[in-house]
Amino acid sequence: MTTGCKVAPPKPPLVKTVAVLLFDNESNDLNAPDLLQGLVWGALKKSPYDVLDRNVVNEKLGKAGIVDGGQLPALDPAKLGKDLGVQALLYGSVESFAYTNIGFYLQRKVAVSLRLVDVTSGQTLWENEGTGVHREVHLNQKDAQDAFARGLATQAVDKIAKLPLQEEAEAATINGLSSLPGYHFAGFARTTETATGVQRGVRDVTNNVIQQK
Q: Where are the alpha helices (DSSP H) in 54-192?
A: 54-63, 77-84, 141-161, 166-177
pLDDT for residue 96: 95
pLDDT for residue 106: 74
Question: Count of alpha carbons within 13 Å of 92, Cβ hemisphere only?
Answer: 26
**Chain segment 155-211, per-residue pLDDT in tens:** 665 666 556 789 999 999 999 999 999 999 999 986 544 344 444 444 454 444 344
Q: Classify domain 17-212 by CATH architecture.
A: 3-Layer(aba) Sandwich (3.40)
**Chain segment 35-94, per-residue pLDDT in tens:** 999 999 999 999 999 999 999 999 999 998 999 999 999 899 999 999 999 999 999 999
pLDDT > 90 in the chain, percent: 58
**Chain segment 17-37, per-residue pLDDT in tens:** 999 999 999 998 889 999 999
Name the helix (H) or strand (E) containing 136. Answer: strand 124-137
Instruction: Quote the CA–CA distance of 182 and 178 in Å, as a whole number.
Output: 10
The values of phi and psi at residue 8, to 5°, are -65, 135
